[in-house]
Amino acid sequence: MSSIERTEFSDGKPRPYSASAAVNGIIFLCGQIPARADGSTPADIAGQVVQAFDNLENALAAAHSDLSSLLKLTVFLADLDEFDDFNAAYLTRLSGHPLPPRTTVQVARFRGEKRIEIDAVAAVTA
């Protein structure tokens, strides 16, 4: 049986889940939201996509991976009417990286001003 390596959050805030779990070279990350380090959230969907990807990139680095190793994304949007704006920012943020398979769904509600969350599976690169 393979052992599971878990990564905790670097900010030290207690949460009822791990930042990531890796097994057999595959990393499962918790959902990444568009919160900045100070807790604020960009106002528009494009800014939220960029921030969520910045957070995703940091979480991948902590788990020994990067954006080029994404295997699968699930994207949760507050409003599918923002799908085209989301896609434009998404493609800009992943420019130069292989595009992973993706599922995008609308959800009923997020906490606060958040309008996106990204759930990712990636390969370990280091």
Strands (E), the chain: 5-7, 20-23, 26-29, 70-77, 102-106, 116-123
| Positions in the chain short of pLDDT 70 | 1
How many Cα atoms within 13 Å fall on the side-chain side of residue 88?
7
- pLDDT at position 6 is 78
By DSSP bridging, strand 116-123 and strand 26-29 are: antiparallel
Whole-prediction pTM value? 0.91
Q: Are 36 and 48 in contact (CB under 8 A)?
A: no
* Confidence at residue 1, expressed as pLDDT on a 0 to 100 scale: 54
**Closest to 41 (Cα-Cα) out of 118, 117, 113, 119:** 113
Domains of the chain: 5-123 (3.30.1330.40)
> Which tens digits make up the pLDDT trace of 32-50?
999 998 989 999 999 999 9
